[in-house]
């Protein structure tokens, strides 16, 4: 092992820390990270890993301080001499928010936009075009920009991921003013009619998402295949509605099971359609994807299937999440054991429908 031959090598220590994290050995992971930081105090990756361990453990005050290293590790914007916002009120200036990280992160941290608006005279945001349908719902934003050169003069900037730290968020008082995202009424009507035509009457509509369309960028261990959801496909009077997008949609061609499966992936243009579909189904079951965040932000019922070592935001040992009161968490009881987890989800789904 590299750590044995080079006990002070930061890269080797961080790899060992990741291995400990994947086994939920958080004290051991933190020990490796601390050793790496003693050797390389300004190593962003070490601080980020430490943040994830602390946040997973509910140690938010320490965790957010380390989480700010994300903006060091990743170039947020073109070079500027303007300061990063320190959380103090900007009475006569414009605050630039940056929709950094992935879709799920933006959905989670956009809840802080109304708070940020109370601290600045004006808010604008820089974001990718696919995030516009989400962020355009916040009236506090004076304007949205997908090109840096269109942004008006601003006094300070901050990534969305930095707002929980500046807000002073702690585990005991996570702001969860749901719903803070809502579907368009005309799109709800469109999708309600479409699902009514395509699905058998009297069937429960269960949305499913088994992977992310950006799976290549993340740890594939948190995603599954459509075949893994077989226990759900055997249920009576249940129609599965696939919201999975990207290359994984091709798996639908090999689907042969008891429950009808409607593949909406090719028809979903953006998050506006996804939000409308979520209003037209009974429940969505998903692995850790943006759709889970979306259901939570809309206060729609959603069940998340989490790997044994989940992302930090889902904490440990609980079936609920203070970030999204409408979500229920299902966790692996052993690493990579999706079979047992999916069977447990299917049994819970039967119990839910029998009770309703």
Tokens of 273: 């359609």
How far apart (Å, rounded) are the C-alpha atoms in residues 159 and 152?
17
Q: Is pLDDT above 80 for 217?
A: no
Who contacts 107 (Cβ-Cβ below 8 Å, separation ≥6)?
A: 134, 181, 290, 293, 294, 296, 297
Query: By C-alpha distance, which of 185, 173, 356, 180 is closest to 282?
Result: 356
Closest CA to 212 of 256, 248, 159: 248
Which residues touch 155 (CB under 8 Å, ≥6 apart)?
82, 90, 93, 94, 95
Given a contact cutoff of 8 angstroms between Cβ atoms, the answer to whether 206 and 241 are in contact is yes
Tokens of 201: 């009457």
| Global confidence as pTM | 0.95
Query: Where is pLDDT greater, at 217 or 205?
Result: 205
The pLDDT tens digits for 53-84 are: 999 999 999 999 999 999 888 888 999 999 99
Q: What is the pLDDT of residues 7-42, one digit of tens each?
A: 789 999 999 999 999 999 999 999 999 999 999 999
Between 33-47, 96-110, 216-230, the lowest mean confidence (pLDDT) is in 216-230
- Predicted local confidence at residue 214, as pLDDT: 60
Query: Whose CA is closest to 264, among 291, 237, 288?
Result: 291
Question: pLDDT digit string (tens) for 237-269?
Answer: 999 999 999 999 999 999 999 999 999 999 999
* CB distance 156 to 82 below 8 Å: yes
Determine if residue 317 is left, alpha or beta; phi over 0 gives left, psi from -120 to 50 gives alpha, anything else beta: left
What is the pLDDT at residue 219? 55
pLDDT above 70: percentage of residues in the chain: 96
**How high is the pLDDT of residue 5?**
54
**CATH numbers and ranges of domains, the chain:** 2-70 (1.25.40.10), 90-169 (3.40.50), 185-355 (3.40.50.2000)
Q: Exposed, middle or buried by CB within 10 Å (0-12, 13-18, 19+), for 220? A: exposed
pLDDT digit string (tens) for 170-197? 999 998 899 999 999 999 999 999 999 9
Model confidence at 218, in pLDDT bands (50, 70, 90)?
very low
Query: Could you read off the pLDDT of 301-326 as tens digits, one per residue?
Result: 999 999 999 999 999 999 999 999 99
Helix 44-56 vs helix 26-39: crossing angle, to nearest 10: 160
């Amino acid at each position: 092992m590299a750590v044995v031959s080079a006990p002070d090598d930061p890269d080797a220590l961080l790899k060992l820390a990741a291995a400990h994290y994947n086994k939920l050995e958080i004290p051991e992971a933190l020990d490796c990270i601390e050793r790496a930081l003693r050797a390389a105090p300004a190593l962003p990756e070490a601080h980020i890993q430490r943040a994830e361990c602390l946040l997973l453990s509910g140690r938010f005050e320490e965790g957010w301080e380390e989480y700010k290293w994300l903006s060091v590790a990743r170039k947020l914007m073109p070079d500027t001499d303007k300061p990063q916002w320190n959380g103090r009120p900007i009475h006569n200036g414009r605050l630039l928010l940056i929709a950094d990280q992935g879709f799920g992160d933006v959905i989670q941290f956009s809840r802080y936009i109304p708070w940020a608006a109370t601290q600045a005279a004006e808010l604008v945001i820089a974001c990718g075009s696919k995030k516009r349908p989400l962020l355009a719902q916040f009236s506090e934003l004076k304007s949205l920009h997908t090109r840096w050169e269109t942004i008006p003069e601003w006094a300070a900037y901050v990534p969305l991921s930095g707002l929980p730290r500046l807000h002073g968020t702690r585990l005991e008082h996570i702001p969860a003013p749901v719903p803070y995202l809502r579907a368009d009424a005309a799109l709800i009507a469109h999708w309600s009619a479409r699902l009514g035509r395509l699905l058998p009457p009297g069937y429960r509509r269960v949305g499913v998402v088994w992977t992310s369309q950006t799976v290549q960028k993340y740890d594939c261990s948190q995603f599954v295949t459509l075949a893994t959801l077989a226990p759900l496909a055997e249920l009576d009077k249940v129609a599965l509605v696939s919201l999975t997008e990207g290359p994984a949609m091709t798996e639908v061609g090999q689907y042969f099971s008891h429950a009808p499966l409607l593949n909406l992936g090719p028809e979903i243009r953006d998050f506006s359609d996804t939000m409308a579909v979520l209003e037209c189904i009974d429940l969505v079951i998903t692995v850790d994807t943006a759709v889970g965040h979306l259901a939570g932000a809309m206060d729609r019922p959603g069940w998340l299937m989490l790997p044994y070592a989940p992302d930090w935001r889902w904490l440990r040992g609980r079936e609920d999440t203070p970030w999204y009161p409408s979500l229920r968490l299902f966790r692996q009881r052993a690493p990579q054991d999706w079979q047992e987890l999916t069977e447990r989800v299917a049994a819970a789904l039967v119990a839910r429908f029998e009770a309703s």
